[in-house]
Amino acid sequence: MKPAPFSYSRPTTLEEALADLAADPDAKVLAGGQSLVPLLSMRLAAPSALVDINAVPGLDHVRADEEGVRVGALARHAAVMADPAARRVQPLVSLALERVAHPTIRNRGTTVGSLVHADASAEMPVVLVLLGGSITAASATGTRTIEAADLYVGPLESTLRHDEIATEAFFPALPDDAGVAFDEIARRHGDYALCGVAAVVRADEAGTITSVRAGYLSVSDLPTVVDLSEAFAAGAVDEASLDAAADLALASLEPAADIHATADYRAHLARVLTKRVVRQAHDDCTARREGDA
Ligand SMILES: Cc1cc2nc3c(=O)[nH]c(=O)nc-3n(C[C@H](O)[C@H](O)[C@H](O)COP(=O)(O)OP(=O)(O)OC[C@H]3O[C@@H](n4cnc5c(N)ncnc54)[C@H](O)[C@@H]3O)c2cc1C
């Protein structure tokens, strides 16, 4: 199918892009086009105008320092994934990006575009929420920071306003006492996951667990983070604590059925992946402390 007619602008400054966006309440930002263009082609979206931000300079950065990783609106998934400093400062970002679609889509799609597209089946929104990150949103009237916890409000729905461009995402650095892991089950590598789980495990110098948090994608309507720490109150990761963590996770999740999986199957995947990923994140935490990661 062909898209419905729309007007198209390719501004060369952020101010111009914001003015174009503010001028038309039905306009949409075009970044990598890897979600928007299929929606246009299927006529699931029919904006009156596209504001293509690809010619706006200064938006394709990936910067990592001791605070965390900052990703500009035009940084492609592939560039973020391959950035060695980003991988060192916050390894969960690259670990999750390895599961985003296929290389051709990662070469074009942007990480910020994925974050604001707000798909609960996508990898990066749940990573942002789990890590307590944020996005910077610019409009013709100013700039604001939206914390990840306030960003997602419904299926494909974020609190980014129509007249705003997300210029940057911020992923906080991995603390010294933490380890991370990410895994998902998909029908084929690169497909959207039937269920995915990311985990951050923290432990003190004696190796005693102090905090375990996990994020779930493709399970509910929103990227969902569950604090599993109480399952590890005894301080160790063993079969009993992992079972308790999976129970705790399932009590907070409401796995949904769709054409790809029943709710029961999703719950089963969430259980298996919770145990697997928490164990891996704990191993990662230990390896980092011993200088092996
Ligand atoms: C076959 C296929 C498989 C895929 N598989 C996966 C997958 O497994 N996991 C996954 O996470 N993703 C997957 N994707 C989506 C891909 O990751 C996209 O890159 C991503 O969803 C959107 O980024 P984009 O830059 O392409 O955004 P676009 O398609 O250009 O835009 C998407 C939406 O975000 C808005 N937007 C984009 N950038 C901004 C901005 N800076 N400010 C304000 N609004 C903005 C647009 O207006 C639009 O509403 C897949 C895509 C395809 C085509």
Instruction: Specify the higher pLDDT residue, 76 or 255.
Output: 76
pLDDT in tens, 81-112: 999 999 999 999 999 999 999 999 999 999 99
> Phi/psi of residue 172, each to 5°?
-60, 150
Which among 216, 132, 121 is positioned nearest to 178, based on CA atoms? Answer: 132
Query: What pLDDT is recorded for position 78?
Result: 98
23 by DSSP, 3-state: which? helix
Q: Is 83 in the pocket of ligand 1 (CB under 6 A)?
A: no
Q: Is 169 in the pocket of ligand 1 (CB under 6 A)?
A: no
Amino acid at 16: E
Position 29 pLDDT exceeds 80: yes
Would you place residue 160 in the very low, low, confident or very high pLDDT band (cuts 50, 70, 90)?
very high
| CB neighbours of residue 251 within 10 Å | 9
Query: What pLDDT is recorded for position 1?
Result: 77
Cβ 224 vs Cβ 246: under 8 Å: no
Share of the chain above pLDDT 70, in %: 99
pLDDT in tens, 230-259: 999 998 899 999 999 999 999 999 898 888
Position 293 pLDDT exceeds 80: no
Position 190 pLDDT exceeds 90: no
User: What pTM value is reported for the model?
Assistant: 0.97
Cβ 36 vs Cβ 11: under 8 Å: no
**Element holding 104 (H helix, E strand):** helix 103-108
Q: Is 109 in the pocket of ligand 1 (CB under 6 A)?
A: yes
Dihedral angle at the C-alpha atoms of 181, 186, 188, 189, nearest 10 degrees? Answer: -20
**Element holding 27 (H helix, E strand):** strand 27-30
Strands 27-30 and 49-52: parallel
Query: Rounded to the nearest whole angstrom, what is the distance from the C-alpha of residue 35 to the centroid of ligand 1?
Result: 4
Share of the chain above pLDDT 90, in %: 91
For ligand 1, what atom is nearest to the CA of residue 125? 11
| CB neighbours of residue 152 within 10 Å | 24
Position 180 pLDDT exceeds 90: yes
Query: What pLDDT is recorded for position 256?
Result: 84
CA 246 to chain centre: 22
How much is the mean pLDDT over the chain? 96
Tokens at 9, concatenated? 């602008």
Position 285 pLDDT exceeds 70: yes
Q: Is 81 in the pocket of ligand 1 (CB under 6 A)?
A: no
Q: Is 114 in the pocket of ligand 1 (CB under 6 A)?
A: yes
| Residues near 265 by beta carbon (within 8 Å), at least 6 away in sequence | 194
